[in-house]
Structure 1
Amino acid sequence: MVVTYKVPLPTYEELDVEEVNLGGATLMAGSFHLGKYCEEQNDEFMLCRREEGRMKCFNEGKEVTACTLDFFRKVKKSCAAELQNFAYCIDQSSMMYDIYPCRKTQAVFDKCMLENMGIERPIYWYYSRPRVFDSKIRPKPEPEKPIEFPNPPVAPIPEEGLPDPIPGKMNSRYWWFG
């Protein structure tokens, strides 16, 4: 991507945040519970990105990262062995990080998360169903006004002597039926 001098770029201080130093298998293993734990921060970040663009949402992104770090620190205190076993199974079972070979270790991890942190694994399609997010930071957008046309089209007046077209005979979609 080419950037000119007119494009405002963030400073290093704005971008400086503690990183989540975990592998893909560990993130995959905790993803459902992480999504439920940090749902509000993530929804706020995605709403900001949608409404204002990527360059103005650094603070919301930092909140998502801080929530993720907080989540994995709490998991480390309460369910570290279960998460590690589940992540190891995901990592070793397939190259595509498939979860279906690891349902037994997943059940153990889910049980530990429910007992120790009170987070139940959401149903599989929970994150893809439509939801309404009520933001506490951003005001609701104003409803779109209907488009007003200055001069609406006028219906054509049929000329005298010409019959009105019959849809079945003259404009048939299935012309090969005759």
Structure 2
Amino acid sequence: MVITNDVTLPEYSELKTDEVKLSTGALLTASAFIGKQCEGVNNEFMLCRQEQNDPRACLEVGKQVTACAKEVLRRIRKECCQEFNQYANCVDKSSRDYTFRHCRKTQAIFDDCMRERLCLLRNDFGYFCRARIHKSSSDPPEPPPCPCHPKVEDATPSLPDCKPRKPARFGGRLYWCND
């Protein structure tokens, strides 16, 4: 990536945060519950990235997303550790592309534990694809300034009037279609 001298990069201390150190299978196992519990913070982060068009402006919100995911995983480990480990192990080892179809029984056991002990339900299929309105707590960004165009007296020539045209001198292109 090429940057110029006028770009200020954040210090390492600003970027440092506790990361979620789990395998892909374990993250996929908890993804539905992390997605539901951290939906508001994650939407705020994505809105910040979209509006600011600069990831440096959204570092603090990104840290909040990571902290939320770690909190959900901490609660899962505290209440449903054995069920979580069985399901994550199944997802890790049952297929090379981490499909869930071989692990539906362990998923049902894990979902039951989450429902009974943490009162969390797995979302129905397509929940994260539905359109929702996010009420943001941050202020909207300033609209970009309008580009200044010099005012020129009638710079473009006017279009011809829309008068009816005469029929083509040698007939139309589709003369064989006329009935």
TM-score range, shorter chain: 0.7 to 0.9
The 1:158–1:126 alpha-carbon spacing in structure 2 relative to 1, beyond 3 Å, is: same
1:136-151 matches, cutoff 5 A: 136-139=137-140
RMSD: 2.9
What is the aligned partner in structure 2 of residue 157 from structure 1?
162
Give 1:157 deviation, angstroms: 2.5
Tell me the secondary structure at the aligned position of residue 120 of structure 2: coil
Larger radius of gyration: 2
Query: In the alignment, does 2:22 pair up with 1:17?
Result: no
Structure 1 segments unaligned to the other structure (5+ residues): 143-149
Task: Please give the alpha-carbon distance, in whole angstroms, between the structure 1 residues aligned to 2:7 and 2:106.
Answer: 48
Q: Percent identity?
A: 38
| CA offsets 1:100-148 (integer angstroms, 9 cap, x no match) | 1111111111111111111110012111111110112334988xxxxxx
What is the aligned partner in structure 2 of residue 146 from structure 1?
none
The 1:29–1:2 alpha-carbon spacing in structure 2 relative to 1, beyond 3 Å, is: same
The 1:157–1:127 alpha-carbon spacing in structure 2 relative to 1, beyond 3 Å, is: same
What is the aligned partner in structure 2 of residue 74 from structure 1?
75
The 1:81–1:5 alpha-carbon spacing in structure 2 relative to 1, beyond 3 Å, is: same
What is the aligned partner in structure 1 of residue 111 from structure 2?
110
Structure 2 segments unaligned to the other structure (5+ residues): 144-150
What is the aligned partner in structure 1 of residue 95 from structure 2?
94
The 1:3–1:33 alpha-carbon spacing in structure 2 relative to 1, beyond 3 Å, is: same
What is the aligned partner in structure 1 of residue 86 from structure 2?
85
Instruction: Output the amino acid matched with 1:32.
Output: A
Task: Please give the alpha-carbon distance, in whole angstroms, between the structure 1 residues aligned to 2:142 and 2:3.
Answer: 31
Task: Please give the alpha-carbon distance, in whole angstroms, between the structure 1 residues aligned to 2:46 and 2:173.
Answer: 48
The 1:170–1:129 alpha-carbon spacing in structure 2 relative to 1, beyond 3 Å, is: farther
What is the aligned partner in structure 2 of residue 120 from structure 1?
121
| CA offsets 1:66-105 (integer angstroms, 9 cap, x no match) | 0011111111110111111011000111110101111111
Instruction: Output the amino acid matched with 2:95.
Output: S
Give 1:171 deviation, angstroms: 8.0
Task: Please give the alpha-carbon distance, in whole angstroms, between the structure 1 residues aligned to 2:50 and 2:85.
Answer: 35
Instruction: Output the amino acid matched with 1:156.
Output: D
